[in-house]
Amino acid sequence: MVILDLQRVNAEAPYKVMPTVREGYFRFTTDFGVDYIIGFSQEELLDYEETYQFAIINANHQKSPRDRKLRDTVVAFVYEFFAQSDRVMLYFCETGDERQSLRSRLFEWWFKSSHRSEVFFSGSAVIPDEDGTLNYVTYITRQDNPNLVRISNEFAMTVQVLRQKPE
């Protein structure tokens, strides 16, 4: 389970973040009226105990214009998540509207344009499923994670297995 210090998140985030009834998830509304739910849940894709899936959900399905405050709020969550150095974050881009490539690029830009991105290590992959849908996944961990090599190898092996067509 991920426990985040909401006071620290709100000290960094331009949007006021509030908890939801689901543990590890939070909500906020942008200046444009877009309601977001954001959070972390345990993920078992990698054989590493401290792996969590990161979710950003547009709860009211409103069009979201370019919003620096949204980026800064998301980044505040990511930084708070990594207050513990041994965690791994997985981000899967939603595929329902076939805009996963755009989501992947946007998240990468948000993250790399933040003021502390150099303390992190990340890797990405595109994994086609049986229907040909391209699934974008990124993992992020801190550079000082004592298990960095193991995590990177585990991600590469997992991607390789998932890319193989079932017989």
pLDDT digits (tens, 9 = 90+) for 83-126: 877 999 888 866 566 666 666 766 777 667 766 667 888 888 88
pLDDT for position 141: 92
Given its phi and psi angles, is residue 155 left (phi above 0), alpha (psi -120 to 50 degrees) or beta?
A: alpha
CA 45/CA 63 separation, integer angstroms? 31
CB contact set of 1 (below 8 Å; sequence gap of 6+): 23, 24, 42
Q: What is the pTM of this model?
A: 0.83
Confidence of residue 47 (pLDDT cuts 50, 70, 90): confident
In the chain, the domains with their CATH numbers are: 6-163 (3.40.630)
80's tokens: 């708070």
What's residue 85's pLDDT?
76
Rounded to a whole number, what is the distance in angstroms from the first to the last CA of the chain? 36
**Per-residue pLDDT tens over the stretch 77-93:** 888 999 877 999 888 86
Whole-angstrom CA distances from 12 to 71, 74, 91 are: 11, 10, 21
E strands, 49-143, are: 51-58, 88-92, 120-128, 134-142
